[in-house]
Amino acid sequence: MQDITIQHSSAPRLLADIGGTNARFALEFEAHRFVAVDVLSCQAYADPEAAMMDYLNSEAVKAIWQGPIHHAAIAIANPVDGDIVSMTNNHWTFSIAAVKKALGLETLLVVNDFTALALALPHLDAQDRVQVGGGQPQENRAIGLIGPGTGLGVSGIIPCQDKWVALSSEGGHASFSPTNKTELALLEVIWREYPHVSAERLISGMGLELLYRSLQTLHGVAHPEAPETLTAAEISARASDETCPVCMEAVAHFCGMLGTVAGNLALTLGATGGVYIGGGIVPKLGDLFFSSTFRQRFEAKGRFADYLAQIPTYVITAEYPAFLGVSAFLDEHLGT
């Protein structure tokens, strides 16, 4: 086995970040050093227990550690309320107590993934983020977090004495509000399929796909009952290489809508400490995002435009930032 420095008295600790599509796993032997990182497809497993067992029995883990693991924490893309977790964007339904027993754990914590990501924000270094637009963060003020991926995560952290308190939020399911005539026309198209249109319905992977289909219908470039379907990755790729005008327009609307919702979050929280953008989509958009109307729409709040202009916005570029937050969550529980 490889030589591993054990810093935590509770080490090694099993950490997981489970989204609607992928489950990411790591072992932590010392603070903020994550080893044997692996990404597994949720679709390939019946439940998280099966995925966790497969990970722990992998060659990468066995090469590092073959002893027991007593403490684990999971960040999951779902509300966590009680023992039974039934994921919104995933087929997994499980009992926290049953998984804890099956894996022989002393501790198994399960926390919303964006609550965990919010807890990671104070631990990010300068190289883990890229600022979009102007503004300067105020110290010891609320910080907002939003991130489109399989769904739309929303959270934030509030300073409380000598620590940060993370918010458990399902803000992605708040109703979407159009800000111009084109968005209103898109909304009227989408209402035919969905009576309630949330922010997540449009600002997420599935949202980008829905925007693309709806724009085809709106512009009359496809049969209204059978528009062409593309995945979010295909839409982004065609927008990036400028081979599809409708894809380019879909991405442009996506970025602008995200700016509006992020600005709403900043106003709601009074997030003068900054607003961070996580999730898997925005970092992959690259220049498409940085040259978009995101920041303009973020600040476009009438009388409060100057207020928002002072609030910085950042794209999180760290590869596995949720591990930082779920580790901090476990630290607090264990008193380490």
Averaged pLDDT score across all residues of the chain: 92
* Tokens 């002393």 belong to residue: 106
Q: Give the confidence band of 222 by pLDDT, cuts at 50, 70, 90.
A: low
Residue 318 is given by DSSP the state: -
Measured between alpha carbons, how far apart are the two ends of the chain, in Å? 26
pLDDT, tens only, 49-84: 999 999 999 999 999 998 999 999 999 988 888 999
**23 by DSSP, 3-state: which?**
strand
Between 228 and 265, the more confident residue is 265
Q: How far is CA 61 from CA 54, 99, 276, in A?
A: 10, 19, 32
pLDDT, tens only, 133-170: 999 999 999 999 999 988 899 999 999 988 899 988 88
Q: CA–CA separation, 25 vs 36, rounded Å?
A: 8
What are the structural domains of the chain? 13-112 (3.30.420.40), 125-317 (3.40.367.20)
Cβ neighbors of 286 (< 8 A, separation 6 or more) are 240
